[in-house]
């Protein structure tokens, strides 16, 4: 496989600078319309591509990979999460999967803190009042929210993003608690002043704020189930900037409607882009259209990662961001 002839198919519109560099390096098919590719279009792509560059909106399942040509040897995902790719099928067919870790960490952690502030201080509600012209002036007891200083934050998933969030949380005067598949190194725990909970159930019952920062895997599907959500205190706020499937969205909606949970800030949804209409009707939610990584800097950095992974692979070396089986 020579670098100049490597056939790359990109499923969505990427930043201009990234597409231009791709065109210089490879034989590239771009998606100029930026409309999500249909399953039939992705099947046609994998029949001819040496490298496929999908995004989170593309479902690369076993059925698609079964029709891939023998030349497809790399799926260079534009994004960190790879739960939309059938990794077992890819590995069985000798297809390497890469992603773009690290570059989204700070942006996602920023968005998580923004959602906690927006929900607890009722920022979205207040902004809507202003736009509708219903504001009657300042009043001592009107639209009161809650401070987050002094509260307990429970982080589910203490990876790069979870740790970045913990650093921000300390600056806001929060005490940090976390649940993780494995306990982090003692030095990291000491730096973050973080309390580890082996039992997720026990942690949920004791914290005021909950942040979901773990990947979606078979083991984390509905990790926040109806039963676990009911463990939360009535003043608790849940924020999810990871994957919608980690939370039982119907159960969360019911608890929010009943006031059994104080609020939620959601940047991801279980069946996105579809959103539960009952969530849309609630004032105690702040809902965003998957904006966690949506910064100019972040998207350019993601593209640079994709370029490096493809170039390294095309040159006959192991790409730096190869996804291994234990990442699932």
Catalytic residues: 243, 272, 290
First to last CA, the chain: 29
The CA-CA-CA angle for residues 303, 55, 276, to 5°, reads: 135
Q: How, if at all, do strands 27-29 and 175-179 pair?
A: unpaired
- Six-digit token pair at 43? 């099947």
- Six-digit token pair at 270? 């279980």
Task: Report the candidate in 99, 300, 120, 299 with the shortest Cα–Cα distance to residue 208.
Answer: 120
Contact 42, 58 (CB under 8 A): yes
Q: Cis link prior to 273 (omega < 30° from 0)?
A: yes
Task: State the residue for tokens 């009107």.
Answer: 142
Q: How far apart, in whole angstroms, are the C-alpha atoms of residue 273 and residue 266?
A: 13
Task: State the residue for tokens 């039963």.
Answer: 227
- Six-digit token pair at 228? 């676990």
């Amino acid at each position: 496989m020579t670098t100049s002839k490597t056939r790359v198919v990109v499923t969505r519109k990427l930043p201009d600078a990234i597409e231009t560099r791709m065109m210089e390096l490879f034989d590239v098919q771009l998606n100029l319309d930026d409309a999500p590719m249909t399953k039939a279009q992705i099947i046609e792509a994998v029949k001819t591509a040496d490298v496929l560059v999908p995004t989170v909106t593309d479902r690369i399942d076993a059925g698609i990979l079964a029709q891939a040509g023998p030349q497809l040897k790399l799926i260079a995902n534009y994004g960190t999460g790879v739960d939309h790719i059938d990794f077992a099928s890819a590995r069985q067919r000798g297809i390497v999967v890469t992603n773009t870790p690290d570059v989204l960490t700070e942006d996602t952690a920023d968005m998580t803190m923004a959602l906690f502030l927006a929900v607890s201080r009722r920022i979205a509600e207040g902004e809507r009042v202003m736009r509708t012209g219903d504001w009657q002036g300042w009043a001592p007891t009107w639209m009161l929210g809650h401070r987050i200083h002094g509260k307990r934050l429970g982080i589910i998933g203490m990876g790069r993003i979870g740790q970045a969030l913990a650093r921000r949380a300390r600056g806001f005067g929060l005490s940090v608690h976390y649940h993780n598949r494995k306990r982090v190194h003692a030095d990291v725990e000491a730096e973050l002043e973080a309390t580890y909970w082996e039992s997720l159930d026990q942690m949920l019952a004791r914290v005021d704020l909950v942040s979901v920062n773990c990947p979606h895997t078979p083991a984390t599907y509905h990790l926040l189930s109806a039963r676990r959500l009911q463990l939360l205190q009535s003043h608790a706020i849940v924020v999810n900037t990871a994957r919608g499937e980690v939370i039982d969205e119907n159960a969360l909606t019911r608890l929010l409607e009943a006031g059994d949970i104080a609020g939620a800030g959601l940047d991801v949804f279980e069946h996105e882009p579809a959103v539960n209409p009952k969530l849309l009707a609630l004032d105690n939610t702040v809902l965003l259209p998957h904006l966690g990584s949506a910064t100019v800097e972040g998207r350019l950095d993601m593209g640079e990662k994709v370029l490096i992974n493809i170039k390294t692979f095309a040159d006959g070396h192991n790409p730096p961001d190869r996804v291994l089986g234990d990442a699932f």
